[in-house]
Amino acid sequence: MAYNKRLDGRKFDETREIEAKAGVIKKADGSGYFRIGKTSAYAAVYGPKELFPKSMQDPKTGVLRCNYNMMPFSGAGERVRPGPSRRSKEISMVTKTALLPVVDLTDYPNAVVDVFIELPQTDAGSRCAGICAASIALADAGIRMKDVVTAVSCGIVDKQVVIDLDYAEEAYEGGDVADIPVAMIPSTEEITLLQMDGNISRENLKKALEMVKEPLKKIAEIQRKALKDKYK
């Protein structure tokens, strides 16, 4: 059976409902909240501040550090054990490299900017939601940036190219599934995060990467609006 209709009734190129806010964490230098469907992420930025130990410092530029963490009750199944896992460490790393190309920290030699991402609930797409929230938080903290970074997943569910897979689609058993989280700099269309698991043909990958551009630009607008709304 072909995947003619999405499980939750969305159009193939339609994301789930999105909500974004800036300045949600009072004690942080910058913060953001990003929810897409039932996946939500908080991000807080602290810094620039002096980096310790000193051996980690870079005299030419500030350093960006990212930390992605799922809260213990944020998974659909059993409780997630607190503390870092192999998965969260990898996601922290790719989150950093997704954000770095737009962030200019050369004004802050020997300093660090910390980005903490916490997920209270997830339904797939958590690293993308984390990147969107982090991007809002960095801008809110007044860090110099070329653009926002925006992220969402695209992929294949039984030969059909779709945008923003939820958990039910990732677990679809009627055919091949591929999940491709993508982060992009909207103004240049450069891709800063690309991962994939599943199975997809070269042609379909191209189709998916084409299809994801418009939704990504729409998300970028939502992120910018969140930042403007803070000053309303």
Query: What are the residues binding other proteins (CB under 8 A)?
Result: 24-29, 38, 42-44, 46, 67, 69, 71-79, 82-83, 114, 116-118, 120-123
Q: How many CB atoms are closer than 10 A to CB 73?
A: 9
Query: What is the four-CA torsion angle of 163, 168, 169, 175, rounded to 10 degrees?
Result: 180
Choice between 123 and 179, CB closer to other proteins: 123
Choice between 69 and 180, CB closer to other proteins: 69
Is 25 in contact with 41 (CB distance < 8 Å)? no
Paired residues of 179 in beta bridges: 155, 197
Choice between 140 and 208, CB closer to other proteins: 140
Choice between 23 and 181, CB closer to other proteins: 23
Query: How far apart are CB 77 and other proteins at their closest, in Å?
Result: 6
Instruction: Convert 111-140 to b/e letters by CB count within 10 Å (16 or more is b).
Output: bbbbbbbbbebbbbbbbbbbbbbbbbbbbb
Choice between 24 and 180, CB closer to other proteins: 24
Query: How far apart are CB 36 and other proteins at their closest, in Å?
Result: 13
Give CA–CA dist 19/183, Å, rounded. 18
Q: What is the 3-state secondary structure (H, E, C) of 80-127?
A: CCCCCCHHHHHHHHHHHHHHHHHECCCCCCCEEEEEEEEEEECCCCHH
Query: How far apart are CB 15 and other proteins at their closest, in Å?
Result: 18
Query: How far apart are CB 206 and other proteins at their closest, in Å?
Result: 34
Query: How far apart are CB 115 and other proteins at their closest, in Å?
Result: 9
Is 182 in contact with 191 (CB distance < 8 Å)? yes
Query: How far apart are CB 117 and other proteins at their closest, in Å?
Result: 8
Paired residues of 115 in beta bridges: 45, 66
Query: How far apart are CB 34 and other proteins at their closest, in Å?
Result: 14
Choice between 128 and 154, CB closer to other proteins: 128
Choice between 59 and 83, CB closer to other proteins: 83
Q: Which of 94, 111, 203 is nearest to 149 (CA)?
A: 94
